[in-house]
A and B are shown apart, each in its own frame.
Chain A
Amino acid sequence: MKSRLNSFSELPAGFKRQLSELLSKAKSPHIGLVFYKVLVSKFTEDELENGLKAERFARELDATLKELTDYRVNIPKLPCKKSFELKTAYRLAIGMGYPSLLENGFLFHHTYGIPYIPGETLKGLARHVLLLSIYEEIKEKLASTQEPLNYLDKYLSSTEEEFSKNSLTETLDRTEISIILSDYKIREPHRVFRRIFGTQEKRGEVIFLDAFPKKFNPQDLELDIMNPHYAGYYTEKGKNPPGDWENPVPIKFLTLKKGTTFVFCLDYEPLGEEEPELLEHAYNLLRIGLENLGVGGKKAKGYGWFEAV
């Protein structure tokens, strides 16, 4: 990423000026393209060479997004067996790990340029909810294990042979467990887990599709700020005390606004047996995860949580 940005700043000045002019006339640009590449054309050689201030980048980004009032996007709709809607209960910060001139990144869909939640994030979340729920049920049995959740995870996705040999299988057979943070119940959760999420030998029977916002405007993207006061304390753990003589360091990052409705879609894997109960379990696990654990960054601060529409 860095090398690409560098090579970009080395482009002829005329070329950059042209791109910056085109950007100001663009009505429906790919926002990911603007955020990660084209917005750089708005800054001078000097600014880029002396290290562009994230603050300056944020202001330019904000102004550009506000101007896109005539933005048109067709949000893809895929046929699927089970779809449901939830809205963000607070802001959503997803893809913060991608490098950008704002210091933190944001996840835009490669083709459609809109925020979305990847299917694999959703599958991972639903899987995590069931894993924790099974753990709650049998944690006494796992007390002596070093990394109990990792052990349980390995057991649940092991080969059929190992699975049937393990004593946990007998313990969980004919057992009904409660799913954490809810009153939803699943019978024989270990077998349900293997069927929904797959094992080392067999792929899962449920497909978790990418979730897209129902509607999207560039103005739905909001700049947010984190403001660590004790930078020295955080960067070199234990070396410096968190002292009041340090100055707060405001760091901007991009978020999707609160109250954005997302459409979630689940489907059967084409070789599965299309058992409605399985899809119902997957739906509940995912919903419980979205409403209680959230997705994306800064979940502990309430970002990325969902609620009923």
Chain B
Amino acid sequence: MKRKTYLIEVLTPLHVGAGQGLSHVDLPIMREVHTGFPFVPGSAIKGSAREYALREVWKRHLANSGVKLSDLDEEVSKGKKLKEDEAEKIKDDLEYLRSVFGTAGELEEGSAGKVSFGDASILLFPVRSLSHIFLLVTCPYVISRFARTVGMDIPPQKVGDTEALCYSMEIAIDKQVVLEEFVFKAKEAGEDFKKFVDLLGIGYKHRVVCVSDTVFSELVQNYTEVQTHVRIDPDKGTVASGALWTSEYLPAESVLFVNLFLDEDIEYSLPGEMWLGGDMTTGKGRVKLREVKT
């Protein structure tokens, strides 16, 4: 087994929904049961990555021959959909897609994929601030979870509930950091923390702060993006009755990390950019994917 770790940088708000909710939001995002942190299940990532890979093959070989993308989808998972000469032409691609993503049981010698997709966990969460517009927040628990999965040695960060460890003190105003309506004492972070941030290779590293686990938990649970949606009645020009609802998003600039585990004999990389989650046609869920070398 080989491991590949990717960062998922959220470019536009991301809604990986948990269905209907009982809370103040009508359509909440998925959260881990034990921490309440937002996450993206591996199945959602695999689904989008598979769609992307199928499309690449379809565009290269089949788009002009009248074969639909859904036909290729069926051919990969169940076989017997394409004409024999068409299937023969893209034999290598079919074999590759099947070995990466697996097939349905109907196919002879059906198999599971050789790449297993883990769940993506939150690493940096953007919070509105009085300096630099927004800051990227993390916490000791999240860092140690990341360190453990990538096999790095980062000593546990010590931070009190009223403190914020800063990668760069330039984000502090009067030695204080403001996150939403809360004020924290700014402290310069140690070298271990800076090394961890450098490793991520993100553009906004001066924005990264580390708060306590309790504060982080409070922020990711209560300060996600909630958008109000309406449907306008075309005859009346006003909001259609009953057509007002709210849905929750992981805000733009959030960063998650995900581990892929590959069989030794397979090569696979996630695409550099793709769409994840819901509301895609109104621009939601555009993400950037980048492998981190650890």
Contacts and interface: CB of A to CB of B under 8 A. Distances in A.
A29 B133 contact: yes
A185 interface: no
Contacts of A78: 11-12, 286
A297 interface: no
B233 A150 contact: yes
Interface residues on B, range: 35 or more
7 contacts: A15-B183, A30-B129, A33-B130, A37-B181, A110-B249, A131-B234, A149-B235
B20 interface: no
Contact of A207 (B130, B178, B229, B281): B281
A32 B130 CA distance: 10
B130 A30 contact: yes
Given A110-B13, A209-B283, A271-B69, A19 B178 contact: yes
B202 to A, nearest CB: 13
B218 interface: no
B97 to A, nearest CB: 16
Contact of B176 (A22, A206, A210): A22
B112 interface: no
Contacts of A25: 173-174
Contacts of A160: none
Contacts of A27: 131
B37 interface: no
B281 A123 contact: yes
Interface in A96-120: 97-98, 109-113, 118-120
Contact of B63 (A72, A119, A273): A273
A51 interface: no
A211 to B, nearest CB: 9
B51 A32 contact: no
Contact of B183 (A18, A111, A132): A18
A269 interface: yes
Contacts of A61: none
Given A19-B181, A29-B129, A123 B282 contact: yes
A210 B257 CA distance: 25
Interface string B271-287: 00111000111111010
Given A78-B11, A207-B280, A208-B282, A30 B51 contact: no
- For A79, A98, A119, A131, the residue with the greatest tally of chain B CB atoms inside 10 Å of its CB is A119
A203 B282 contact: no
B234 A128 contact: yes
- For A34, A150, A153, A270, the residue with the greatest tally of chain B CB atoms inside 10 Å of its CB is A270
Contact of B280 (A22, A109, A124, A203): A203
Contacts, number: 133
Interface of B: 11-13, 51-52, 55, 63, 69, 126, 128-134, 173-174, 176, 178, 180-181, 183, 225, 227-229, 232-235, 249, 251-253, 273-275, 279-284, 286
A220 B228 CA distance: 25
- For A22, A76, A78, A109, the residue with the greatest tally of chain B CB atoms inside 10 Å of its CB is A22
B87 to A, nearest CB: 21
- For B173, B229, B279, the residue with the greatest tally of chain A CB atoms inside 10 Å of its CB is B173
Nearest to B234: A149
A172 to B, nearest CB: 18
Closest 8 CB pairs of A and B: A119-B283, A209-B283, A149-B234, A119-B282, A30-B128, A120-B282, A110-B225, A26-B130
B133 A209 contact: no
A265 to B, nearest CB: 8
Nearest to B223: A110
Given A128-B234, A269-B281, A29 B13 contact: no
A13 interface: no
A197 B234 CA distance: 15
Contacts of A147: 235
Interface residues on A, range: 35 or more
B281 A203 contact: yes
B12 A210 contact: yes
A22 B132 CA distance: 13
A1 B260 CA distance: 41
Contact of A19 (B129, B133, B183): B183
B129 A33 contact: yes
A234 interface: no
Given A33-B180, A147-B235, 20 more contacts: A18-B183, A19-B183, A22-B173, A22-B176, A22-B178, A23-B130, A29-B129, A33-B128, A110-B251, A111-B225, A112-B133, A119-B284, A128-B234, A150-B233, A150-B234, A207-B282, A208-B282, A210-B12, A270-B55, A270-B275
Contacts of A131: 234
B235 A113 contact: no
Contacts of B11: 76, 78
B281 A8 contact: no
A76 B252 contact: yes
A204 interface: yes
B235 A148 contact: yes
A1 B55 CA distance: 44
A136 interface: no
A276 to B, nearest CB: 14
A124 B233 CA distance: 11
Interface in A17-66: 18-19, 21-23, 25-30, 32-34, 37-38
